[in-house]
Amino acid sequence: MIFAANFKTNHTRKSTREYLEVLTQKVVDSACKDAVYVFPPATALDRFETPIVIGAQNAYPTTNGAYTGEIGTEQLDEFGIKTILIGHSERREILHESQEIVAEKFAFFKERGFEIIYCIGEPLEVREQGDEAVIEYLLAQFEGIDTSYEKLIVAYEPIWAIGTGRSATVEEIASTHKALRQSVEKPLLYGGSAKPANIREIIGIDNVDGVLVGSASLDPESFFEMISA
């Protein structure tokens, strides 16, 4: 199973280091065989002595240059970071990243051999139109994306389930992952209010290969409770 923690705009450089010390100890002591990823904010990226994969939540498709406020691969290379989240709904919705920009980022980081956790997810009004509309919407988010890329992991995160405390139901996750699996033969993560209380149920669903966790990952005890479930 894959357990990925997306800190979003939470944690500092100092608290990220403390977090990783705690989580690393638990992962090592438990001889954990799962793949564990942590995506801290850009300011907390660093080299860490840990078996946990550290990834970037975002970067601009450039090595360096004049892109005020952005980081490129030069800043990621400094810490040996070769994993990135692309297409998160918060970047699509709040930061207005179009499918074209998302696809451009994907091509850039693929070209450089990054492992990519590619996020897709539908808004509530699409979910309310039923399964067929959901799948159509999700498949459109693969436009311009090479779904055969060997280092691709897909994260299905229904927007209405993110940060709301309301996870998708087992049936909704099962049917969506089953349909996605027919188009994309890559590991499929679920994300959206995954937490210790529902993790067993979620990872028990067919075609779910792991979870991408926001809120419940911010405390290392809570995140490890999920990993060890």
Among 61, 87, 191, 210, binds ligand 13P (CB under 6 A): 191
Q: Rounded to the nearest whole angstrom, what is the least distance from the CB of residue 139 to ligand 13P in the complex? A: 20
Q: With CB under 6 A, what is the number of residues at the site for ligand 13P? A: 14
Report the distance separating Cα 70 and Cα 61, nearest Å: 9
- Supply 84's token pair: 């990135």
* Chain centre distance of CA 56: 10
Residues 196, 90: Cα–Cα separation, whole Å: 23
Q: Which of 80, 113, 163, 204 binds ligand 13P (CB under 6 A)?
A: 163
Q: Return the residue of 44, 59, 152, 194 that touches ligand 13P, per CB under 6 A.
A: 194
- 182: tokens are 């027919």
- Tell me if residue 171 is catalytic: no
Residue type, position 104, single letter: E
Q: Is residue 88 annotated as part of the catalytic site, yes or no?
A: yes
CB of 64 or CB of 176, closer to ligand 13P: 176
**Per CB under 6 A, 87 contacts ligand 13P:** no
Contacts of 178-182 spanning 24+ positions with Cβ under 8 A: 178/206, 178/207, 179/131, 179/135, 180/135, 180/138, 180/154, 180/156, 180/207, 181/207
83 binds ligand 13P (CB under 6 A): no
Q: What x/- string results for residues 88 through 117 when contact with ligand 13P is judged by CB under 6 A?
A: x-----------------------------
Ranked by CB distance to ligand 13P, the top (closest) residue is 214
Q: CB under 8 Å to 227, separation ≥6 — which residues?
A: 3, 26, 27, 32, 34, 36
Interacting residue ranges for ligand 13P, rule: CB under 6 A:
6, 88, 157, 162-163, 191-194, 212-216
Catalytic residues: 88, 157
